[in-house]
Each structure stands twice: as structure tokens, then as C-alpha cells.
Amino acid sequence: MDKQKIYLETTLFNYYFDVDRDAHADTVQLFKEIAAGKYEAFTSRYVIEELGNAPEVKRDKMLNLILEHDIPVLEPNDEAAKLADIYVKEGVIPQKYRTDGLHIAIATVNNLDMIISMNFQHIVKHKTKKMTGAINTLNNYRVIEIVLPMEVVENENAEHDRAGDKSNPASDL
């Protein structure tokens, strides 16, 4: 089986360094799995631009994460811009947050398998997943998965945690 091609959206770089966030450990694990060769990871110039708005020390750390993991940076193109404009026109993404549509579009037009994000406002939402999937299909692109890091990382403690979870009826079987 080929490695899955994943798009790392801006929020992941922030969560990697924010140890107080719930998804910090899963985000760090995702980067470990990328380093181990489990995924072929990509990001984009849109991410680089957004990271440029962070305070200097954190910005440098986040940008270095891209370099350390040798993550290719997808460049903006007209095809992605047109698709993002459709997302905005159809009410999936507000015009003010068009960059969120650009993240989805750049991953779509580059035929990636999934977008991994912690952006609950405009990206990791049921409406966004359904509507971008429909728009992509209507425009001859495939549906791209939009997921959280904890949905894809290997968690060696998951089975143990479920087995010992008294609130889980399956643990009594």
C-alpha cells in the first residue's frame, strides 16, 4: 500500500509546541510517524504565510519543524484559487477566512489523501466536509478526508485504555 499523502494545516504547527493543548501529544506523535516514513506530508505557502504572523521565537520553531521533517511546501496556483472561490461562493467558507478554503483547495488539486487540522471553526466541521466533498465531486476532483491528528496516529495505549475503562461496556466482555 502506498503511503497516504497528508496536508498539514497551520494549526498543527501551533499544537506541536503548545503543551497545554489537548491534542499536543497526538500532534507530536503525528510528526514522529511522519519522520518514521508512515506518511508523505505536505504543507503550503499559505501555512508559511500564516506562521509568519506568530511571535518570532514561536514562528522560528514552527518553520524549523517544516525543515526538520523535510516537508514539501505546495505553492499557490490558479486551480486552487478557483476551487477556494467556489467554496466561498457556495457558503462553505466565509470570504473573510478564504485562506481556510485555500488549504482545502491546495490539498485537493494536488490529489492528497487527507487534510489534518485542528481548525474547528472552518475546516474540521461536518458542513465543511460534506460541502467540499460535493463541490470537489462536481468539479471532477476526489473527496478529500478532513481529520484530526488523533484520528490517524497510532496510539499504543488506546487498547489498554479501552480495556480498563469501566465506562466502556465492551471492556466487560
CATH numbers and ranges of domains, the chain: 4-172 (3.40.50.1010)
Amino acid 2: pLDDT? 84
Q: What is the pLDDT of residues 141-155, one digit of tens each?
A: 999 999 999 999 987
φ and ψ at residue 84, rounded to 5 degrees: -60, -40
β-strand partners of 6? 41, 114
User: Which residue from 55, 46, 27, 41 is spatially nearest to 113, judged by alpha carbons?
Assistant: 41
β-strand partners of 146? 115
User: Which residue from 1, 12, 4 is spatially nearest to 111, judged by alpha carbons?
Assistant: 4
- The pTM score is 0.88
Residue 19 has pLDDT above 60, yes or no: yes
Q: What is the pLDDT of residues 108-125, one digit of tens each?
A: 999 999 999 999 999 999
Q: What is the pLDDT of residues 54-74, one digit of tens each?
A: 999 999 999 999 999 999 999
β-strand partners of 43? 73
Q: What is the pLDDT of residues 65-100, one digit of tens each?
A: 999 999 999 999 999 999 999 999 999 999 999 999
